[in-house]
Structures are given as structure tokens and as C-alpha cells.
Amino acid sequence: MQRKLRVFDTTLRDGEQSPGCSMNLDEKLRMAAQLERLGVDIIEAGFPIASHGEFEAVKAVSGLLKKTTVAALCRTRKEDVERAWEAIRDAKLPRLHTFIATSDIHLHHKLNMTKREVLQAVNKMVTYARSFTDDVEFSAEDASRSEIDFLAEVVDVAIKSGATTINLPDTVGYATPVDYGNMFAEIRRRVPNSDKVTFSAHCHNDLGLAVANSLAAFANGADQVEATINGIGERAGNASLEEIVMAFFVRSDAFNATSRINTRELYPTSQLLSSITGVKVQPHKAIVGENAFAHEAGIHQDGMLKNALTYEIMTPESVGLTRTMNLVLGKHSGRHALQKSCAELGYQLNNDQLQQVYKVFLQVADKKKSVGEQDLVDILKNHSDIVSAAKKPADLRKELTG
Ligand code: KIV
Ligand code: ZN
């Protein structure tokens, strides 16, 4: 039977903690509406105790969403839980998300609490959160660096106190996929009633392993993944939502799971976030980067012109791009791609003309990083013998390859 992947988007909370990515109320509302269109299951709208503005934004998102669960983050403190509940109480599907750190490092250096005090806080605040709603998520912050016996005890208490989702974050991006997967397997094996709750993965990208770790957690029983659009978040960011979703989509043979995501909304969502925050996506970013569907090497371009399956594992359309083929002209490009680009500009070149233009093109390409449309027009204009629209591209392809 196919498993169901639950996608928990934390762009508006953990993502917003990224330098330069904070959003005002109106911006959060626009993002939330787009995330609902994308089809995520849960939107973590913010950390209401943090500020008045944050509280108002979470409240507004709660009033807006029709079919998506709205989560609000709170520490295991009474005033936090109450403030978070106040912000989401009008949501159609409210979730309280409470957390406390469980690693020795955090207990000693940050919380100054004993293990016993942590267990008491989990018991008290998960129980308190459950008095407001049936949907309570508990996160053991820094779970991946926590001592496994203590982590199992904490999870046991959280489940007994009423948590319905158990999140085991790799808060500092320290885990490897094997470590992280094993942690889920071990906790699920040790803790009674683990099969009655949903386990969740929450990964940071300090070693560039956030997506791989999330997939390893899924393979070991985590049915929920927490991620952000464009992978924004603390330090090196969170697991990138679009990468996880497309891994499931393209490699459905490996995961045998479905999600509610409309993959065609991935690119528009990425663009919206980028335009709201002003933070650009790196060009070679998987799925949504400018170069994700661009091809420069001659051999690749030739393959693409014959059949896109040669060098693309998904279509640009499947992630919401309308562009069908992006052949970038540069010194690695071949005659085939050059001919196609010339044809798109209205210049149909025969073999001799193509050889001539190719020579000049390479001289220009050796001097520039890429040859743009205007460069190509200039090259073609300087060759007055080149006729416009003389032959159809299909005839020319025969001539070239035949
Ligand atoms: O990274 C983390 O541990 C978190 C928790 C608060 C869920 O963001
Ligand atoms: Zn986090």
C-alpha cells in the first residue's frame, strides 16, 4: 500500500528566521495563500510569543486558510502555549507545536535544566496544550545530538501526555542519513504506542544533508517532513521543500508514497518568496534555480534536441515552468544548438553558413561567459550573405545530421 507523505511547511516560521527573510503580515498572508494552493498539509505560521506583529500575523493566517492545518510554535511554557493558542484558535485546523531541547549540550549550556525537569516540562505543557486542541506536535530540539535513552524517555512522556505528532529535529544539521534514519527506527522500536502517533523529520542544512536526511527519516517511518521553500532558514537553511517533493515525484519507484502537493505550483511559490524577501535563488539550485533546466555543453544540447529524456529527469512543466527548452550558448555549445538559436531569431542557416557563423561564434564565446541573443544578432548581421527564413529547421536538421 502507498504511504502518505505529510508536508509541513515552516517557511513562515523557521524560514523567516533566515537573515533578510522576515515578512510582514501582508507578505505572510500572500505566502500562506500560495502555500495552500501548492497543497502543503500544515503551515507553521510563526512563533506568536515572539512579538505583537508575529502574533497578529499568525492570527491573520489562521483566519485565511480553508483546508490547511495552521501550526503555531511555543516553548514548553504556560504563557507561550496560551499565546500560541490565542493566535490559532479561530483556524479551521489548529495545531499547537511545543518544543524543548533534549541534548546534554542544550540542557547544560542553554536551559540550565536537569533531565528530570525537562521530563516534567514536557508532561505539563503537552498535557496543557492538549486541553486546547486534539492536534499537538512535540519537538525534541537537538534530538539528533541527544542521548538515545533520554530521548526515548522524553518521547514516551510526550506520547503519554497526548502529543499526536513527534518531531525529532536535526537542529544543527549534524546528522548523516544513516544516523538520522537509525534514530527514528530506534525510537519507534523502543517507545510504546509509537505506531499511534505521526513521526516527523525536521532537518537543517549545515552539511548540505538536510534533504537526504529527511528522506532517510521517511524510509525509517517518519510520515511527516518539515521543510521550507527555497530551503531558507537558520544558518545554512532548512530542508528544501521543492527538492523533497520532487524526489518523491520523480522517484516514486523508490518511495512508494503520495502527497497532496501540486508540483506545478513549486516554481510560482519559489518566485513569490524570492520577490517578497528580495533574496534570490542561487542559479544552480535544484528544481527552481535559473539553470535547473538549462543546457550549455554541445553534447547535452544535441541530446536535448533529439530527446529531452537524455539530460532531463523531469519536465520543466512539472514544476510550473512554461519554458520548454533552455539552451544556453557558450564556448561548450555545438553547431546544433547554434543553428536552433539562429532559427529562433529568424535566420535559417544552411551547412556552409552554419560553419562560418560557428567560427565567429566561438571567437565571441571564448571572450564571454555566455553568448546572448543580441551577440548572436550582431554576428549574423555582419554576415550579409546569410538569408532569412530560407529553409525549415527540420530540413536543415536532416542536412546537418545526414
Ligand atoms: O530546528 C529545530 O529544532 C526547530 C524546532 C523548534 C522545531 O526549529
Ligand atoms: Zn529548525
pLDDT digits (tens, 9 = 90+) for 351-363: 999 999 999 999 9
The amino acid present at 80, given as its one-letter code, is D
Residue 204 Cα: closest atom of ligand 1 = 1
Does residue 397 or residue 301 have the better pLDDT?
Answer: 301
Ligand showing the shortest atom-to-Cα distance for residue 239: 2
DSSP β-bridge partners for residue 326: 294
Last residue of a domain, one of 250, 277, 304: 277
CA 18 to ligand 2 center in whole angstroms: 11
User: What pLDDT is recorded for position 55?
Assistant: 98
Residues 36-64: pLDDT tens digits? 999 999 999 999 999 999 999 999 999 99
Q: Name the residue of 141, 183, 206 whose CB sits within 8 Å of the most ligand 1 atoms, as the mutation to test its pocket.
A: 141
Q: Please tell me the residue having the least CA distance from ligand 1 atom 8.
A: 14
* Rounded Cα gap, residues 170 and 172, in angstroms: 6
DSSP letter string over 123-134?
Answer: HHHHHHHHTT-S
Q: Which of 247, 262, 277 is the last residue of a domain?
A: 277
What band does 31 get if pLDDT is binned at 50, 70 and 90? very high
Cell of 266: 513549486
In a domain, 74, yes or no: yes
- What is the number of domains present in the chain? 2
Cβ of 169 below 6 Å from ligand 1: yes
**Same domain flag for 89 and 229:** yes
Note the pLDDT of residue 346: 84
Report the mean per-residue pLDDT for the chain.
93
Q: Is 14 in the pocket of ligand 1 (CB under 6 A)?
A: yes
**Domain-located, residue 307:** no
Residue 314 located in a structural domain: no
Position 392 confidence tier, pLDDT thresholds 50, 70, 90: very low
Q: Are residues 68 and 146 in the same domain?
A: yes
How far is the C-alpha of 342 from the C-alpha of 147, rounded, in Å? Answer: 63
Residue 246, classed as helix, strand or coil, is helix
- Please check whether residues 334 and 195 belong to one and the same domain: no
Taking the centre of ligand 1 as the mean of its atom positions, its distance from the CA of residue 71, in whole angstroms, is 13
Residue 323: pLDDT band with limits 50, 70, 90: low
Mean pLDDT in residue range 376-393: 66
**Same domain for 101 and 16:** yes
Amino acid 284: pLDDT = 96
Task: Assess if residue 64 is contained within a domain.
Answer: yes
Question: Half-sphere exposure (CA, 13 Å, Cβ side) for 331?
Answer: 7
Mean pLDDT value across residues 276-292? 96
Whether residue 97 is found in the same domain as residue 231? yes
Quick one: angle between helices 335-344 and 373-381, nearest 10?
Answer: 90
**Quick check: CB of 238 below 6 Å from ligand 1?**
no
Are the beta carbons of 15 and 233 closer than 8 angstroms?
Answer: yes
Using CA positions, which residue lies closest to atom 1 of ligand 1?
Answer: 171
Assess whether 30 and 146 both reside in one domain: yes
Cα 202 to ligand 2 centre (Å): 6
Q: Could you tell me the three cell numbers for 278? A: 528580495
Q: Please check whether residue 105 lies inside any domain of the structure.
A: yes
Tell me how many degrees the CA angle 208-209-213 measures, rounded to the nearest 5.
160
Q: How far is the CA of 382 from the centre of ligand 1 (A)?
A: 60
Cα-to-centroid distance, 234 and ligand 2 (Å):
7
Q: Are residues 263 and 341 in the same domain?
A: no
Residue 336: domain span? 326-401
Is the minimum distance from the CB of 202 to ligand 1 under 6 angstroms? yes
The ligand 1 atom nearest the CA atom of 172? 1
Residues 230 and 344 in one domain: no
- Element housing 288 (H / E): none
For residue 17, CA distances in Å to 10, 66, 256, 336 come to 10, 26, 33, 47
User: Pocket of ligand 1, candidates 105, 139, 183: which has the most ligand atoms within 8 Å of its Cβ, to mutate?
Assistant: 139
pLDDT of residue 324: 60
CB of 265 shorter than 6 A to ligand 1: no
**Do 260 and 155 share a domain, yes or no?**
yes
Say yes or no: 262 and 351 in one domain.
Answer: no
CA–CA–CA angle 246, 13, 270 (5° rounding): 35
Residues 6+ apart with CB under 8 A from 180: 144, 170, 201, 203, 213, 216, 217
Nearest CA to ligand 1 atom 5: 141
Buried b (16+ CB within 10 A) or exposed e, 246-259: bbbbeeeeebeeeb
Q: What percentage of residues in the chain have a pLDDT greater than 90?
A: 85
Cα distance between residue 253 and residue 315, in whole Å: 17
Alpha helices in 113-176 (DSSP H): 115-130, 148-160
Residue 42, beta-bridge partner list: 8, 69
C-alpha cell at 59: 492570527
User: Contact at 8 Å (CB) between 199 and 231?
Assistant: no
pLDDT, position 243: 98
Distance (angstroms) between ligand 2 centre and the Cα of 207 equals 14
> Which pLDDT value is given to residue 370?
85
> Are residues 258 and 353 both part of a single domain?
no
Higher pLDDT among residues 102 and 343, named by residue: 102
- Is residue 383 very low, low, confident or very high in pLDDT (cuts 50, 70, 90)? confident
The answer to whether residue 85 is domain-embedded is yes
306 inside domain: no
Sign of CA dihedral 219, 225, 230, 232: negative
Give 329 Cα–ligand 1 centroid separation in angstroms. 44
Q: Is the pLDDT of residue 150 over 50?
A: yes
> What is the number of H-type helices and E-type strands within the chain?
16, 12
Ligand 1 atom 7, closest CA = 139
Q: Tell me whether residue 305 is in a domain.
A: no
245 and 347 housed in the same domain: no
Domain end: 277, 296, 314, which one?
277
pLDDT of residue 325: 65
Q: How many CB atoms lie within 10 A of CB 222?
A: 27
The CATH number of the domain where 99 resides is what? 3.20.20.70
**Do residues 178 and 217 touch, judged by C-beta distance below 8 A?**
no
**DSSP for residue 70:** E
**Cell numbers representing residue 293 in the block:** 533546466
Model confidence band, residue 382 (pLDDT cutoffs 50, 70, 90): confident
Which atom of ligand 1 is nearest the CA belonging to 13? Answer: 8
What pLDDT, in 10s, does the model give residues 194-252?
999 999 999 999 999 999 999 999 999 999 999 999 999 999 999 999 999 999 999 99
Q: What pLDDT does 385 receive?
A: 66
